[in-house]
Structure 1
């Protein structure tokens, strides 16, 4: 385990031909256009592997490949077989659904990749926690309910009484989580054993509604005090380069944990950032991750000088949030990741000097979107660069913890993190969301 703070260098790319890149883009991803633009910016030939590639066929032509993204072995084999049409220099899975397929393909093609076991462990919260515990990574006290505990994790039965026992075991308040969901879906804080039992039942309903196994184990972990942060990084042969640390100034403390504002650079003192970066590197190593992007979440108790790792994902930041990051003059996170995957040289990995941030527009009321007013006012706020709505009128709105998406994203830049935070607060005040209850109109 180590932390790397210098920019990366590579000499990749095939002699006499443009590099060829496969992007595994599930049809539900927000990130297709940003990765496609990044690939074009480095002159790469792009093959899009997607479960919805028919929709891209007109624009991608021969560059569209239909694969069963949710069957990583079959998808990876199909991508690897596509090398018969020409050499493939890199495969990138852009979000959780595509990462394992990309890993299988890269392994079969002999490209740099993470071990499949590491990527699989990163997709399951219980396996992450067991790996962290075995490696001594700092984390909250944790237990598993309703299933066999991974590794040495304490395990309890699935009854309401068992959930209450698990809550007492880890300490109150506690947080209950589904093991396989993301984006704050199925994450609920409980302040008593009875609340924990009720939260477990609610999470099982959420998991079932999402098409997952409602009998899967659930996590019960002690609520960790301190500031919650997100860390964006990239691994180079096991060395972590930290690209950005985001503060979450809205302090998500429950009972649900919707994400709202991310701002970078972090305002944590250097005495807190150094152990944070070390803990993230330890967590990635504990999972066996060695190559490519990671996105980590942690709590930092500055007063107690304590870091508690919450999770590490084997991908970059989700949604459109990466647009809050620029490196050098105007290099996107996606371009850095494409360059890294292709082995192309870059000296531009240092984040821009200005502060920046993103507001994930939360869904606060269940129903169907009737419209959003004040968008132009929000776009005119000083420092705001973009307001992008990702839900259209007539679509259903489901707040967390049942839901797992946002109304849209707003991006701002400024001289200081406080300036950015103020701009994003004005955006939130300017937007008025109209929600229609009942059945959506035709």
Structure 2
């Protein structure tokens, strides 16, 4: 059967890539997600998907199981191909990391105080009534409603991820005062996401897992299992909480209770919510909607809607599977035609590969952060339109290209004096 062949090949891809690259980079995370999504999709009926599926579902796992397996095998193959040519050992990674810490401790301190300063300022600007209780599904907002506050608020997920990675780094390097400070910041950032029933809380747990696995010298299996179980329990609570009407700090007891809900349908719904993208993607491709060219082109525009006018096109050209279920980025990219599809595939491939290039250049912390961010964006791309995700892949690709270019220029400047010293000796030989 096709499922057995696909699973064996993808397990080999993951295993072989991990032998060469000894930390969980974006390509590994994408391959792991594809493998798990295929297993859930293929076994959807046995897992009880009918009990929790919405009326908009086409039940593609029954009618087109091989289509879902094929699409996600191709994605896993692209991710595996992005690792070819790289070999990064865990010992080299840790030695480079220690050298980076020794020579750039001032930069690490600046990063820590930036995270702490942002968290304090964000707290002071929060709507405290909403912080305690609000009825709308969202994280607690700020008291001001303007463009600057909007941009400031959107930085919070990235700052939260940075706080958790820096916390694990401080623990690994024995900086205990920094660790406790960042632990406080990380817990607070997690609570903001958790009390808003946001799946970003789950992303933060996996950010902690990625950092722990990179920095820890042993007990990797225990770290992975612990974070995995905790992540799934939090996801179950977030899915249950989204359907409620109580959010904020006052909702913590109910959300914590949702983590330990023993109803099997809660766990099933959380499982399918995490991997719903494969069903949404297959349903979208089966429907084969014909898009307006302007909507397709603007979906890969890096400009804000206020400049390129995407919002106006969205109102008339967007196609959704239902009121609450949009098309996935993968389905849209395929249905937009081969020109746009090729651009999306190339950017996706290069963005995954760029995380390894950054790690190879000695920027392991940013390699980890960008890998977690790209993995989260890939999960989002499985269930949200291309406009929501493509620019994020493009942004990470550009940032990583700049980092690698600057690292190469710095290395060239360091080697220049040595070349000038050797050149006269070489000249006298002739």
TM above 0.5: no
Taking structure 1 as the reference length, what is the TM-score of the superposition?
0.25
Q: With CA pairs under 8 Å and 6+ residues apart, which has the higher RCO, 1 or 2?
A: 2
Greater strand percent: which structure?
1
